[in-house]
Structure 1
Amino acid sequence: MNREQYLIESAQVKSLSARGYQLAIGVICMMAISSPQYVWTLFTAPLTAKLGVSLAQVQITFSLLIILQTFFSPVQGYLVDRFGIRSLVGVGCALSGLSWVLASQASSLSMLYLSYGVVGGLGTGIVYVGIVGLMVRWFPDRRGLAAGAVAAGYGMGAMITTFPISNSLQNVGMETTMLTFGLALGIVGLVASRFLRQPPTSQSMDSLPEMKQTVVDVPPRKVLKTPVFWLMFAMFTMMSTSGLMVTSQMASFAKDFGMTTVMVMGMAALPLALTIDRVCNGLTRPLFGWISDRYGRENTMAFAFLFEGIAMTLWLLTSDNPVLFVLLSGVVFLGWGEIFSLFPSTLTDTFGTRHATTNYGFLYMAQGIGSIFGGPVAALLHQSTDSWYPVFAVAISFDIITALLAFFVLKRMRANWIAKHSLKS
């Protein structure tokens, strides 16, 4: 082996090692900020009782969390690019933990909205957009898998906290629970963020064959003028609505279905279902990301979105069976969580890596719109019809429509775009 070949192979080994290390740190940061969204449903009943308000009013908090997390994500992505990944992700983790500390002392809806919704949303948004943007840069050859892995950290992080938080709520109450877990999660994320760093420059990365890019880098101002971006935005919005309806309303419709007072395998059905959901919601992200790396983004989208629609239909039809309620809730999340690996990888495949963080920030705003429809609008629809069937019908319809759009429309539009904007070899 000559010296030049040896140096190239050594660089490849170091790059793979560095990438794996950064991926692990990214997963830890995402796990630290996942609980505000994914265990929110456990706090809705205590909050409505404490504040003496309706479920729809309390659910505005959840929408604020997602709206602030997503609507400001372009700015958050720009700040990450401008001031560095370590500093901004550290601030985001600290704000996420602080939101629970402040919410533990909330005595009015406005205080709850400001603390849990606004502070928490800004903090989690900085971390989420920053970490996803970082990983699609570190892994241009395996974007689906890498984005899915860190998104899995966000989806599965609450798996570790669901039962402890549920037990803590029963034993010490909501205020102490929020204070304790807010401090712990904030500190973990802040410490982990100090080990993040950006990948090598594009020039040094080009020396590795798997690191080369095939499409031109498109800045946000031009991305926002393309039909393919807005199609992805509409699809992301519909899928977010479907999944966030389940995430934010699960404790409420579980109560109406009689699932909050039953046991499954010796455990309370609702926290067991939430824990299984976290596992499936996490596993689906790298799984479908890996599949999309090999079999195509749109093909994978069509299958996964249709899969969720079918699973949600079966879940609704068997909602009176405790065992099936628990198991099918996990299947539903298995068909939903992959949007957080498929959409960022598809976007970066289409518009390049240079502006990946900011571009994804704009696309991620669709999650905020989905939170409005999946949170308070879904609660109001249930309130006006006194039934969860219309709510589920809308969510299932969105799943099927998005699956059809992925296969029959997005696939063609994106192929045409890439053909026109590929880099010359």
Structure 2
Amino acid sequence: MTKNHPGNFVTNKSRYVYILLGLIINLCLGSVYSWSVFRKPLEQLFKLSATESSLPYMIFLVFYAILMPLTGRVLDKFGPRMVSILGGILVGIGWILAGFSNGLIYLILGYGIIAGTGVGIAYGVPIAVSAKWFEDKRGFAVGLTVLGFGMSPLITAPIARKLIEMYGPLLTFRILGVVFLIVIILLSIPLKFPFREVTTDEGFKIKKDKLSYSSSEMVKTKTFWALWFCFVIGTLSGLMAIGISSPVGQEIIKLSAEAAAASVSVFAIFNGIGRPFFGWLTDKITPRFAAIFNFSLMFLASFGMLFAKEGMTLLFMITFSLLWLSLGGWLSIAPTATAQFFGTIHYSKNYGILFTGYGAGAILGNLISGKIRDIFGSYTFNFYITAILSIVGILIALFYLKPLINQK
């Protein structure tokens, strides 16, 4: 506090606890990225095709994306604590119900719809909290907050794999569901938005954000649609890679199930690193050039996978690490760009609307990857598509992803 203005603002130190809380909550929510570990056991248990085994994951991501904009409209009204607790309850219930499935329909209902809805409700809460507490370093703070979501498979994939070996996939769903239920609820209790001015790490008060684009104003701008299409491309390629990581490792590179699961944990590190790294990069070089760099990495990774064959473990590790890194980057570029381009006053609603691009990417990515595997008998053909899309993304970012000038 200052001598002249006691009580007008809170110090910078106390706000860092919200990054830690958000990181751990996202660690639970991000367990969806471990889905590839469940696919083979579920295919064997319920006699599912590659397309069918991708459906619970796809539906999860769809409901996750649909609920984001809806939650953004009520977050400021009900506050982050209540919204996050509600999301945590649904996440836990969804995983537990998936554990009592006797076929694909019940997996979709429990895991896909209920748990996906829970993540859609809870996911945006820690991001909005960090964005409002750290207006002086939004990209880096948001990146650290969502680090847990990207790093989740590093912890949840090997744990899930071990539990599946011991108890099977269904009991594993139940065990993890109970854990997520308890952890998310407990860590949601301290969440709140700042109600006074906050200081930077240097002790200066953050200036009030003058940008104030409402949702209706935002969607009328070229910048929004450029950002939305870039988000679709980035998430389509990244989510496709995440959903097929373990199967590609086993079917193309001929890794064992254990080695493929271990590789998912390694990829999760890059997904996690991509979030604070691209958040920091977006602060430094603008969303436009951060996006171009991201798509360039995606192109190199996709091109490399076109030459992947049995035994090329190093190539597999490098290319998929880059794809996971790129997806992690978009989960920082998109929210940071939303705040930079359109302000933080309507941030919860605005980012919720932008996040529908994630849903579009999830649907297209999973449908494409499963269908191509079923039709051509290999996942390799997916990477022709992601290579082309990354070039399209570079062009969109280069010509249209610019700050708004009299676009209202």
TM-score normalised according to structure 2 size: 0.93
Of 380, 383, 398, which aligns to 1:407? 398
Q: Which residue of 1 aligns with 2:378?
A: 387
What do the CA deviations read for 1:111-132 (whole angstroms, capped 9, x no partner)?
1111000001110011111221
Q: Which residue of 1 aligns with 2:3?
A: 3
Aligned equivalents of 2:161, 2:241: Cα separation in 1: 18
Aligned equivalents of 1:388, 1:180: Cα separation in 2: 32
Q: Does 1:308 align with 2:298?
A: yes
Q: Which residue of 2 aligns with 1:114?
A: 109
Structure 1: unaligned runs, 5 residues or longer: 263-267
Aligned equivalents of 1:55, 1:334: Cα separation in 2: 25
Do the aligned partners of 1:269 and 1:322 also contact (CA within 8 Å) in 2? no
Aligned equivalents of 1:335, 1:76: Cα separation in 2: 26
How far apart are 1:18 and its partner, in Å?
A: 2.3
Of 388, 393, 396, which aligns to 1:397? 388
What do the CA deviations read for 1:198-222 (whole angstroms, capped 9, x no partner)?
1124xx4599755224543122122
Do the aligned partners of 2:253 and 2:308 also contact (CA within 8 Å) in 1? no
Q: Does 1:138 align with 2:117?
A: no
Q: Does 1:84 align with 2:75?
A: no
Q: Which residue of 2 aligns with 1:371?
A: 362
- AA aligned opposite 1:32: C
- AA aligned opposite 1:31: L
Do the aligned partners of 1:260 and 1:270 also contact (CA within 8 Å) in 2? yes
How far apart are 1:52 and its partner, in Å?
A: 2.2
- AA aligned opposite 1:3: K
Q: Does 1:416 align with 2:366?
A: no
Do the aligned partners of 1:308 and 1:333 also contact (CA within 8 Å) in 2? no
What do the CA deviations read for 1:155-195 (whole angstroms, capped 9, x no partner)?
11231121111111112211221111111122111110011
How far apart are 1:234 and its partner, in Å?
A: 1.0
Aligned partner of residue 327 in structure 2, secondary structure: coil
Q: Does 1:74 align with 2:69?
A: yes
Do the aligned partners of 1:239 and 1:336 also contact (CA within 8 Å) in 2? yes
Of 19, 23, 42, which aligns to 1:23? 19
Aligned partner of residue 284 in structure 1, secondary structure: helix
**Correspondence 1:131-210 to 2 at 5 A:** 131-201=126-196, 204-205=197-198, 209=204
Do the aligned partners of 2:226 and 2:397 also contact (CA within 8 Å) in 1? no
How far apart are 1:73 and its partner, in Å?
A: 1.4
Aligned partner of residue 100 in structure 2, secondary structure: coil
Do the aligned partners of 1:46 and 1:174 also contact (CA within 8 Å) in 2? yes
- AA aligned opposite 2:243: S
Aligned equivalents of 2:152, 2:180: Cα separation in 1: 10
Between 59-68 and 211-220, report the one with greater CA deviation: 211-220
How many percent identity over aligned positions? 25
Q: Does 1:294 align with 2:284?
A: yes
Aligned equivalents of 2:168, 2:112: Cα separation in 1: 20
Q: Which residue of 2 aligns with 1:357?
A: 348
Do the aligned partners of 1:69 and 1:368 also contact (CA within 8 Å) in 2? yes
Aligned equivalents of 1:319, 1:290: Cα separation in 2: 36
Aligned equivalents of 1:161, 1:199: Cα separation in 2: 32
How far apart are 1:384 and its partner, in Å?
A: 2.0
Q: Which residue of 2 aligns with 1:345?
A: 336
Between 170-179 and 273-282, report the one with greater CA deviation: 170-179
CA RMSD of aligned residues (A): 2.2
Q: Which residue of 2 aligns with 1:65?
A: 60
What do the CA deviations read for 1:58-116 (whole angstroms, capped 9, x no partner)?
21211110110011211111222221110110111121122111001111222111100
Do the aligned partners of 2:294 and 2:326 also contact (CA within 8 Å) in 1? yes
Aligned equivalents of 1:327, 1:233: Cα separation in 2: 28
Q: Does 1:93 align with 2:93?
A: no
Aligned equivalents of 1:173, 1:220: Cα separation in 2: 45
Aligned equivalents of 1:142, 1:374: Cα separation in 2: 32
TM-score normalised according to structure 1 size: 0.89
Q: Which residue of 2 aligns with 1:265?
A: none
What do the CA deviations read for 1:294-338 (whole angstroms, capped 9, x no partner)?
222211111122112212322442443123323432233223311
Between 339-348 and 218-227, report the one with greater CA deviation: 218-227
